[in-house]
Amino acid sequence: MNRKPGDGTAQVAVRRYRGGDETDAVAVEEPLLIRLQWPEDQRDLAVTMRTPGNDAELAVGFLVGEGLLGADNEVTHVDVSSDFATDAVVTVSIANAPAAELLEHERNFYMTSSCGVCGKAALEAVRIRANYDTAKIPLTVSADVIRSLPQRLLAEQPLFAGTGSLHAAAFFAADGTFSELYEDVGRHNAVDKLVGAAFRDGGLPAVDRVMVVSGRASFELVQKARLAGCGMLVAVGAPSSLAVELAWEAGMTLVGFAREDRFNVYSVPTRIPDLS
C-alpha cells in the first residue's frame, strides 16, 4: 500500500477481472483517540476509526454531538498528535469542567467507522439535552432546492470521486448555496468534522443552513444535527424509526431518499412550503 502522510486515499495493488494487474485508490481508515482535558482533569472518551484529515474538527464535533461542548464552553486549545505510522491523538482543552452527568454514561472506547451509539447503556443516555430549540427555527426550503441537493453534494466530494467509498456531510444555505463539506469513511465522523469546523468558526447554531448527508439518517445523525442547532437534515438514504421519532421530538425536518425526482419528508413538513 502506498500513501502520503495526510492524504485520505491510498494506492493498492489489484488484479482486475480480465484486466490484469493495476493500482486502485481506496479510502484510508485509521484509529484516532479523542481526549478531553480541563484544568483539573482529563478523560479519554473514544477511539474512532476515521479517514485522516481535519482531526481537530472531528474531535470538537464529536464533543458537540455528545453534549460536552456548547455555547457556554470555551475551547482553549486543540492539540493534534498525528503520525500516520502510529496512533493519532487529539486533545481538546476546555476552560471549564464538563457537567459531571454527561461523563457518567459509559461508552465502549472502541467505535467502528459505521458505529456511533455503541456502548450507550440505554436510549435515555443518548437523549442529550440540546443547547438550541430546533423546533423554533424559522428555516424554509423549497422542494426544488431539496431535489437539487444530492447532486450538489456529490459535485463537492473530491475523495469520493477517487475512491467511491467515502461518506460526506455538508451545509447548504436555504437557497441551495454550498457552504462547506467534509468526507470520511464513517458517516458520523463526516458530520463531526462538519459540526466541529462550524463550532470553531463561531458558526453554531446552524439555524440558517441545511445539513445534507450522503448515506442513511440514523438516530445519531439526527442527534448531532440537533445539537448543532440545525433545523433540517436531508439524507440521500433512508432514516431509521428512532431517527424519525427524535426528529419529531426535536421539531426538526427530516428528509430521506432525496433524489432529483423525489424525496420523502418524515417529520415537520411545514418547512417545505411547496411540498404539495
Walk along the chain (276 residues) and give the pLDDT tens digit of each residue.
Answer: 455 555 677 778 887 878 788 877 777 888 899 999 999 999 998 888 898 889 999 999 999 988 888 777 789 999 998 654 457 899 999 998 887 767 765 454 445 445 555 444 434 555 566 788 999 999 999 999 999 999 999 999 876 545 556 899 999 999 999 999 999 989 999 999 999 999 999 999 999 999 999 999 999 899 999 999 999 999 999 999 989 999 999 999 999 999 999 999 999 999 999 998
Structure confidence at residue 106 (pLDDT): 46
Structure confidence at residue 109 (pLDDT): 41
Asked if residues 218 and 199 have their Cβ atoms less than 8 Å apart, the reply is: no
Say how far apart CA 182 and CA 189 lie, in whole Å: 9
Structure confidence at residue 94 (pLDDT): 95
pTM over 0.85: yes
Structure confidence at residue 126 (pLDDT): 53
Say how far apart CA 45 and CA 132 lie, in whole Å: 24
Active site residues: 115
Backbone φ and ψ for 94, nearest 5 degrees, come out as -125, 160
Asked if residues 254 and 240 have their Cβ atoms less than 8 Å apart, the reply is: no
Structure confidence at residue 28 (pLDDT): 81
Structure confidence at residue 163 (pLDDT): 52
Say how far apart CA 153 and CA 272 lie, in whole Å: 19
Sequence-distant (6+) residues with CB within 8 A of 244 are 254, 266, 267
Bond prior to 39 in cis (omega within 30° of 0): no
What is the 8-class DSSP label of residue 135?
A: G
Strands 232-235 and 209-213: parallel
User: What are the helix (H) ranges across 89-234?
Assistant: 100-104, 123-126, 143-155, 158-163, 187-200, 219-227
Amino acid in position 112: T
Q: Tell the burial category of 228 from Cβ atoms under 10 Å away from its Cβ (0-12, 13-18, 19+).
A: buried
Structure confidence at residue 18 (pLDDT): 80
User: What is the CB neighbour count within 10 angstroms for residue 194?
Assistant: 33
